Structure 1
C-alpha cells in the first residue's frame, strides 16, 4: 500500500509523515503554498490519499471573498486532487474535515455523526461542501471515501488557540478563566494520527464518516491544570463569570477562542470505536501534560 499525504508541512501533516516514516511505510508527501484547483497537476500515483491540505481557520479574518477563498482551498482543491489521484490508481481518499460542520453547540449531550450539520463560518461551510461533493465524486469515479471530523487537535506544537493558551499558561501565574462547569472534546495529535492510519486501510472505514476525539471530554480547568502540570508551573486558577469572560474576549477580538476552549461541545466517538475496533491510545490528562512538557522543551530549543 502506498500513500500520498497532502498538506505535509502543516501541524497534522508533519506528525503523520513522521509516523509513516517510523513505520517504514511507502508514502509521498506534497505541500502547496496556494490552493488553486487549476494548479493541481501531476499528482503522484497512490492507492490511498490522506488529504490535509487546505486553508486553515484564521481568527477574526475579514475580507470580501472569504467564502470564495475557503471554497477554493478546502473544497475545489480537494475535489481536483481526488480527480487527479483517481486517474492514477486511487483506491481510498481520506478527507479530514472539521467539527465546525456541526455549528455552535451549547450542550453537554454528545454529538453523533448523524447530528444536524449547520456550519456558521466560511471555513466550516467549505468543509461541509467538500464532504458533500466528494461523496458524489467517489461514486462517479469509483473510489472509497472516508470523512474524518476531528475535535480541536492539541500537541506541544499545535497552532492557533491551543498555542495561545499554552503561551498564556507558561507566561502568567494567575489564570482567570479556568472554567470548571464546561465540558469539551479534544483530540491528542498522536491519537488522531493513529486513527488516520487505521482509517486509511481498514475495510470497515470505507464510505463512512467518523467523529474523532479523546475518550474523556474535559473542562477548561482540567485542560489548564494538565498543561501547567506538564510545564512544571504552579498556577492560581479561578474563573471569571462566563458572561464577563465572553465580553472580554469579544472586546479582544477572540470570539472564536471562547467557543473553542470554553464552550460545551462533546463528540460521540462510539461509532469509530465499534466500526474500526479503535480506542484512543493516550488518555487526555496525561497527553495534555505531555504536550505542556513538550511546549517547554521546544521553547528551550528555540532559545538556544
Structure 2
C-alpha cells in the first residue's frame, strides 16, 4: 500500500478521498489549514494560513493529491479576482509541487476542473486534448496551474497527473446543488421544463476512487483525465431523479431558455442561468481505457445517497 498526502483534506471532496484511502489500507497524511478534530488512522498536519505550501517537516509520502484551492464563487469580493485565483491556484500549486519534489515524492495528482477547458461543449463531449477556452478567473487559474505543473514535472521528473472533474455532488454538497434540493423539497416550481441541454457530473465517491487510482497506478503518470459518472442529464432530468429520491413531486414549468437567459441578465445572475441552459458534456473514456476505471456508483445511486443525506439533515433540524 502507498502513503498518500492529501491537501485540502477537510473539504467536500477531500474528506471522501481520505476516508476511501483509509478503507483501502493506505497510509494517509491530511495537510490542512486548521484541524477538524481527530480522524482515526490519519496523520494530520496543520499548516495554518501558510496553506499547503508550508510542507510539513519529515513528510515523505509516495504521492500527493492536491485538492487545496481557491474555489469558484458566484459573488467575487476580491478587487483583482484573477490575481487572487492565481496566487492560490497557480503559485500555491507550484509551491506544493516544489516542496513535494524536494521531499522525494514520486507523483502529484492535481485536481483541476473542467472549467479549465470550457464552459460549454460546443456540440460534442469535451476531450482532454481539446483547445482550452476558460471563461472566468477560476478556469483561467486552473489552466495556468495545469500548464505550470506539467512544465515543472518535465523539468524535475515529478510525475504530474491532471484530473478534471465537472460538477461534483454527494452528501454534504453545498452551493447550487444544495439550493436545487431545497427548492424541490419545498415543492416550489422550477422553470426548467423546456431545458434540453445535457451536462456531465460526478459523484464524490466516484471521483475519490478515480483520484486514488491516479495517485497509485503507474499507467497514470503524465496523463490528463476527465472524470465523470458516465451519464449526462438535463437539469430537468436531474430534478426529477432528485424529486423521486426526496419523495417530492417536481413541478417543471416549460419556460424557454432565452427567457431564462434574459432574466439572468436583468438580475445579474447570468452565470448561474447559463450553467442551467448550456450543454457541458464531458468525455471520460480516456481514464476508462487507460486505467480500466469504471465508476462504482451509477448516477441514480449517487443521487439517492445525496438525497438521503439531505433528508437526514432536515429530520435533524426538525427534531
Does the 8 Å contact 1:185/1:267 carry over to 2? yes
Alignment of 1:110-189 (within 5 A): 110-189=125-204
| CA separation of 1:167 and 1:108: change in aligned 2, threshold 3 A | farther
Cα offset, 1:126, TM superposition: 0.6
| 1:267 corresponds to 2:268 | no
Cα distance between partner residues in 2 of 1:178 and 1:290: 24
Aligned to 1:91: 106
Q: Equivalent residue for 1:13? A: 14
C-alpha deviations, 1:235-270, integer Å up to 9, x for none? 222331101112223333332222333320111111
**Which secondary structure does the structure 1 equivalent of 2:264 belong to?**
helix
1:229 maps to which of 239, 244, 267: 244
Do the aligned residues in 2 keep the contact of 1:179 with 1:262 (CA within 8 Å)? Answer: no
Contact 1:46–1:90 under 8 Å retained in 2: yes
Q: Deviations over 1:5-46 (max 9, x none)?
A: 000111101111122222232010011277757962436221
Write the distance in 2 (CA, Å) between the matches of 1:39 and 1:190. Answer: 26
- Provide the C-alpha distance between the structure 2 equivalents of 1:302 and 1:76, rounded to a whole number of angstroms: 41
Q: Taking structure 2 as the reference length, what is the TM-score of the superposition?
A: 0.89
1:290, CA displacement in angstroms? 2.6
The Cα shift of 1:54 comes to: 0.9
Aligned mates of 1:151, 1:220 — CA distance in 2: 14
| Distance (Å, rounded) in 2 between the aligned partners of 1:255 and 1:303 | 35
User: Per-residue CA shift, 1:170-210, capped at 9, x if unaligned?
Assistant: 22332222444111111111111110111111111100000
| Cα distance between partner residues in 2 of 1:149 and 1:53 | 14
Matches of 1:302 and 1:74, distance apart in 2: 36
Rounded Cα–Cα distance in structure 1 between residues aligned with 2:216 and 2:253? 45
Q: Runs of 5+ in structure 1 lacking a partner?
A: none
Q: Is the 8 A contact 2:109 2:162 kept in 1?
A: yes
d(CA) in 2 for partners of 1:70, 1:112: 25
**C-alpha distance in structure 2 between counterparts of 1:97 and 1:41, whole Å:** 21
SS in 2 for 1:174: coil
Aligned twin of 1:258: 273
Q: Superposed, which structure 2 residues align to 1:23-42 within 5 Å? A: 23-32=24-33, 40-42=54-56
Cα distance in 1 between the residues matched to 2:194 and 2:221: 39
Aligned residues: CA RMSD: 1.9
SS in 1 for 2:297: coil
State which of 44, 56, 61 in structure 1 corresponds to 2:71.
56
| Deviation digits for residues 156-180 of structure 1 (CA, Å, limit 9, x no counterpart) | 3212221221222222332222444
Counterpart-to-counterpart distance in 2, 1:38 and 1:285: 35
Please report how far the alpha carbon of residue 52 of structure 1 lies from its aligned counterpart in structure 2 after TM superposition.
0.2
Deviation at residue 136 of structure 1 after TM alignment: 1.0
Shift of residue 303, structure 1, vs aligned partner: 4.5
For residues 37 and 24 of structure 1, the distance between their equivalents in structure 2, rounded to whole angstroms, comes to 27
Residue 78 of structure 1, aligned match among 84, 93, 104: 93
**Do structure 1's residue 205 and structure 2's residue 206 form an aligned pair?**
no
Question: Would you say the 8 A contact 2:195–2:256 is kept in 1?
Answer: no
Contact kept, 8 Å, 1:178 with 1:224, in 2: the verdict is no
How many positions carry a matched residue from both structures? 304
2:255 maps to which residue?
A: 240
Is residue 2:81 matched to residue 1:66?
A: yes
